[in-house]
A and B are shown apart, each in its own frame.
Chain A
Amino acid sequence: MAKAKTKGGVTTAPLNKRIWKNRELYILVLPVVIYFILFHYKPMFGLAIAFESNFNPRRGVMASGFVGFQHFITFFTGPFFLSRMWNTLRISLSMLVFGFPSPIIFALLLNELRGKIFTRTVQTVTYMPHFISMVVLCSMVREFTNSGGFINQIAMVFGYDGLSMLNKGNLFLPIYVLSGIWQSIGWDSIVYLAALTGIDMQLYEAAKIDGAGRWKQTLHVTLPGILPTIITMFIMRCGQIMSVGYEKIILLYNESIYEQSDVISTYVYRIGLVQRQYSYSTAVGLFNSVINFILVILANAISRRLTQTSLW
């Protein structure tokens, strides 16, 4: 917003005058800029510790010996690189494939509803899980899927053996994805609902006159109408592929499903914060971020070529 306004302002005036003219907007954006400098740019200098033998907080960032890419090599050649990488991709791609379309479909369905009160009720109910703290949400999931939990009981009707579901490696992924959808579907659909209100009603009328039914209207009017929003959300989502939320996994996993649930970020957490091998875990974390960065650029380039919509 701030950017658009300054562009639309008097471009010939000197910079300081332009800033003064739009001072309210600059003040509005200032906290965000400070936030990014403090929490996203300043810590980058700390990345130096990924190339040191082992960072020691008491002696400062530059005090330990330089070892180059040794920590990266240790990780790539180590026994857990492939399995943790695969788990990370598996879990986040599943979230992308199943988690990304679900709020869009949900928004489209809501859009078709005509009863105002019913629509509002449904919306409010589906928002709610978003406001539950992750810790509480995960203990609910554990409680439900434990032997004797209500999801477990229902599954037993269909022939499930009744043991705790979180002790079975092959069930971790469905539990993770479904609980993720349950928590975020309402909240994530807001942006699409907002985009839906922006579609010109005349287009629908024109489509109706041309003989399009509900399904054809959705396909040819609604979806193209919110496509820019979908693309933008998708590119941003691609940047998160490698950053699976470690909090949720740590709260859900146990030793018997490490093979299926341990991802790079939980690995970094255990090595860095619990075992205090700061340099090694920073190296692993940096690798993770670099992959993320590449994925965003790729997704953006592909989208620009295919749909002319892109972040930059």
Chain B
Amino acid sequence: MKKSLAVLLALVMVLGTLAGCSGDNNSSTADQSSAAQESSTANEDSTAEEESAAEESGSTAEGLLDPIENTDGTLQVPRSSYVTYPIEGADGVTLDYWLPAATNIANGAGETQDTAWAAAWQEKTGVTINFTTSVLGSDDESFGLMTTSNELPDIVEWEWTTTYVGGPSQAMADGMLTYLDDYITADGYAADLWQFLQDNPHLDKQVKTDDGHYYCFPFVRGTKYLQCTSGPVVRTDLFEAAGVDVNSLETVQDWHDALVAVKGVEGVEYPLICKNWGNLVSLMDSPFEFRANMYVDYETGEVEYGYIQEGYKDFVATLQQWLEEGLIDPDLLSNETTDQTQAMLNGTSALCYAAGGGDLGAYLSAVNADPDAYVEGISFQAINFAVMNEGDTPHYGGTSWDYACTSKASAVITSECEVPEIAAQVLNYSYSKDGHIVMNYGADAVVDADGTAHYSDATMDYAANGFSSLATSMANAGRANMSGAFAQDPQYIFEYYTEDVQKDALYTWNDNQDSQTSLIPPVTLTSEESAAYTAAYSNVNTYVESSYGQWFALASNVEDDWDNYVTTLESMGVNDMVAAYQAALDRYNAR
């Protein structure tokens, strides 16, 4: 009787959480400030109830939460507490944990080891974790060195579906990872991850190998507002001065005319700037219907290689025309982040591809901190991705899969881990009900009566705690504004994006596009496919890079070079690369 009551209470609470998440994001963010004040004793009571429920259920199959009907792919956040923390028998255990360095940590707390969430994780699980990170900006090199060293760490965060030669099955054979099928079960050491995947069957499909093995603790980015956080940003005031209404910009032709107009405004040198080539492609690929490297054609569902499409030729031809007209920063290929920041703030450029947090947020806070240093009326806003014809929907803009397989952030347990069952429980923590909140928002997170969590006031008031920005303060408290082996909480971004301009940017970029289906899903290549892919990849990649470099420098005309370019790419085996991914995609679709 007592037990069923406890389970019932827990269920009611979880449903409350879900109602908060699946509702319209516009309204729920508006409600957040008032809801935060309501978090009170009621919340503490229900947490206590939940804990007792968890204790009684333990990690046995009888105590499972009732299943949720979830067929439309909305994210259900972790809601179970099957595994008991601190972990039993973990005294004196030390785990070595390797992960790529995060910019937000490097800019703030310095080392992953020193962050508050790293400390909280160790305290809650009772296990000492020794974090080692890559050299910032040299992830691939650091990973390569780590794998060639004689001793592997116990846990490694990386991306396993594409750049690891042979994918997860080869990594298993190499001893880089062990399959987790024994742990991710209803009564296993990672039971909470199991429950999370049961609640989200669309994720369950994505995180397995083709033959149905679990291999990682996935980085989950499960709702659309988390998936496309970069897009076109303009200096509204400059376009207004040129007589252009930025909200009316729709087609590539509109963009062109607006850029020509804004170039006439005093101070504007090159209206369009990007940090690098990749961003320029992301900014402009949608109207030309291609993506960088491998992608899935929106209409046919077949794998294509972007840099060989007719659309790419038209894209380059357009760039060359715009470069000749002086509309694009000619130094773009050697730009760094600071070049774009300075150009946008000084008004030498008026349109760029920016991340809502790291870039747009930085521009806004720079202006807020010292308004006198900038032109009066300086203002920024996000605009829609461009399309080719009026009324089109962008199909090739940003965004990511729910299992964010291209982020170097999914954790595996290596074959050299002597206590895999303890490592599994440590990693499972992030997918448990409490762990989800602690790892996203920090151990001092504020939880409302309806279960919604927020950053604490101490985290939000970053300056008082010696942090230079909100991003670094949040990265110290929890992992939500970075990547890693946890499920990103859908609400965090509305606290991270403090300015309305940033929130509007999220809606602008995400609500008016449909581009997830043109991304390669988390397929897994076989060893043969992977070998065929990498054999061609290095040559193809070098050739593609030097070709667009030549075109961008206006050293030759893309129309003249195109036939020769395509023939060369084909002779380098670009079709083998496509075939490898097509086979993997077919297997994935058949799952």
Contacts and interface: CB of A to CB of B under 8 A. Distances in A.
A59 B331 contact: no
Contacts of B149: 57
Nearest to A272: B144
A167 interface: yes
6 contacts: A56-B174, A58-B175, A146-B334, A255-B333, A275-B534, A277-B538
Interface in A34-59: 54, 56-59
Contacts of A164: 330-331, 334
Sort A-B residue pairs by CB-CB distance and give the 3 closest, nearest first.
A256-B549, A258-B546, A255-B549
Nearest to B531: A54
Nearest to A56: B174
A255 B545 CA distance: 5
A27 to B, nearest CB: 30
Interface stretch (B444-452, B550-558, B580-588): B550-558
B165 interface: yes
A80 B531 contact: no
Nearest to B171: A58
Interface string A154-184: 0000000001101111000000000000000
Nearest to B139: A274
Given A56-B174, A58-B174, A273 B140 contact: yes
B549 A79 contact: no
Given A255-B333, A256-B550, A273-B141, A57 B147 contact: yes
Give the interface size class of chain A.
Answer: 35 or more
Nearest to A255: B549
Given A80-B543, A256-B334, A280-B538, 12 more contacts: A57-B147, A58-B174, A146-B334, A163-B330, A164-B331, A255-B545, A255-B548, A256-B549, A256-B550, A274-B140, A274-B144, A277-B534
Nearest to B540: A79
A254 B333 contact: yes
Contacts of B543: 79-80
Task: Output the residue of B149, B546, B548 with the most chain A CB within 10 A.
Answer: B546
A262 interface: yes
A198 interface: no
A82 to B, nearest CB: 13
Given A56-B174, A58-B174, A262-B546, A167 B333 contact: yes
B549 A257 contact: yes
Interface of B: 140-141, 144-145, 147-149, 152, 165, 174-176, 277, 330-331, 333-334, 531, 534, 537-539, 542-543, 545-546, 548-550, 552-553, 555, 568, 571-572
A256 B333 contact: yes
A80 B549 contact: no
Contacts of A56: 174
A258 B547 CA distance: 9
A275 B538 contact: yes
Task: Output the residue of B550, B568, B572 with the most chain A CB within 10 A.
Answer: B550
A258 B165 contact: no
Given A142-B334, A164-B331, A274-B141, A78 B539 contact: yes
A289 interface: no
Nearest to B546: A258
Nearest to A276: B144
A146 to B, nearest CB: 7
B280 to A, nearest CB: 11
B539 A80 contact: yes
B552 A256 contact: yes
Nearest to A167: B553
B538 A271 contact: yes
A58 B147 contact: yes
A146 B572 CA distance: 34
A168 B534 contact: no
Interface string A270-294: 1111111110100000000000000
Nearest to A53: B531
A267 B542 CA distance: 9
Contacts of A256: 333-334, 549-550, 552-553, 555
A56 B534 CA distance: 14
A147 interface: yes
A258 B568 contact: no
B550 A259 contact: yes
A70 B546 CA distance: 26
B331 A57 contact: no
A258 B549 contact: yes
B481 to A, nearest CB: 27
A310 B112 CA distance: 55
Task: Output the residue of B331, B543, B552 with the most chain A CB within 10 A.
Answer: B331
Nearest to B330: A163
A237 to B, nearest CB: 29
A76 to B, nearest CB: 13
Contacts of B553: 167-169, 256-257
Interface in A214-260: 254-259
Contact of B549 (A254, A270, A274, A278): A254
